[in-house]
Amino acid sequence: MERSGKNQKIMNKVIVVLLFLIAGLPFFSCSSDTAEEPMLIIKFKFDENQVRLNNLGQPSAVAPGNAAQSPIFNAISSHYIELAPNANTQLGAGTIIYHAPETNLGGATAIDFSRSKIVGEDEVFLKIPLRDVAAGNYEWLRVSLSYQNYQINIRHQNVDYAGTLASFVGFNTYITEFNIGNNLFPVNANKAQGYWAFALNNQPYSASGQAPAGSTTVPNPIEATSPIPRNLNTCVVTGKFTNNLAISGNETQDIIVTLSLSVNNSFEWHEINADGKFEPSIGENVVDMGLRGLIPSYVR
């Protein structure tokens, strides 16, 4: 009986030790999970007061015979983001940090809209480990915009209305369907750069159309040394950091990069009735939906 009692005491001690170890496992597991490595984070900002640029990155006024307005942005998506060390870095020769999903379902290669990431202002568009970004000193950033969603004002029979416009400015986009409010737009095809759809807010009116080929403005201040091939119809907007973005590979904290896009009169149409009001019902057509400049900045 005495030996049996000793054995029981030993077993009790073993059980206590095991319970202690088991209880400690979640603590150690959670501690390792919360130690997140430093990340590169990309966000967007929309500025109606930022300088309005042309394709060469020079200040630009609205073309004669046209009118324009600064839209109120709801959301945006990108197809491609690249960091470039200097003004001589050719498109694709920098550090590519993002490339959106593509598909051939519509025939030619196109951006897959169904898998595009769409965000609003100051929302995180991209978050990747800094260890995946090549160390370097980056002076420029290129971003290829693919989709915009914003509010504009229109006039119909002398009455002003607010509406929402979906603008596809990527080189080519495969779209199954999309909606603006309760308005459904079935497409199931590739759409070239400049396709758009519009619906009035809380009104039973919608329309869609196509801006002229090659009419989308794509500012590139370093066109002379690093041109963007216009035949590709890409919406690669180029902007310079005020202070170069230096990545050493030994970062211990996040780097947050904000892409400030000029929406200064970025929605432009050809006027029939020269009143500065967009009137699609009388045949006024969209001619340009390109963003009007990029200023990238960062904080650590």
Strand segments, DSSP code E, in 157-280 are 159-168, 172-180, 183-192, 195-200, 206-210, 236-247, 255-262, 267-270
- What the block records as the tokens of 121 is 């202002």
Residues whose CB falls within 8 Å of the CB of residue 96, separated by 6 or more in sequence, listed in order: 80, 81, 82
pLDDT at 144 over 50: yes
* Residue 13: per-residue pLDDT: 53
**Average pLDDT, integer, range 154-175:** 94
**Average pLDDT, integer, range 31-35:** 46
- What the block records as the tokens of 283 is 């045949």
pLDDT tens digits for 181-190?
989 999 999 9
* Residue 286: per-residue pLDDT: 92
pLDDT at 14 over 50: no
pLDDT-based confidence at 41, cuts 50/70/90?
very high
Residues whose CB falls within 8 Å of the CB of residue 121, separated by 6 or more in sequence, listed in order: 43, 44, 45, 46, 73
Q: d(Cα 284, Cα 136) in Å, to the nearest integer?
A: 48
Q: CB–CB of 230/36 below 8 Å?
A: no
Give me the chain's average pLDDT, please. Answer: 90
* Residue 133: per-residue pLDDT: 97
pLDDT tens digits for 211-224?
998 899 999 999 99
- 109 vs 281 pLDDT, higher one: 109
* Residue 281: per-residue pLDDT: 87
* Residue 30: per-residue pLDDT: 44
* Residue 9: per-residue pLDDT: 52
pLDDT at 196 over 80: yes
**Average pLDDT, integer, range 107-131:** 97
**Average pLDDT, integer, range 127-138:** 97
pLDDT-based confidence at 292, cuts 50/70/90?
very high
* Residue 5: per-residue pLDDT: 52
pLDDT at 18 over 80: no
* Residue 31: per-residue pLDDT: 40
Query: Among residues of the chain, what percentage have pLDDT more than 90?
Result: 79
**Residue 99 backbone class (left: φ over 0; alpha: ψ -120 to 50; beta: rest):** beta
pLDDT at 167 over 50: yes
* Residue 205: per-residue pLDDT: 86
The DSSP bridge partners found for residue 191 are: 173
Q: d(Cα 40, Cα 247) in Å, to the nearest integer?
A: 10
pTM (2 d.p.): 0.86
pLDDT at 6 over 80: no
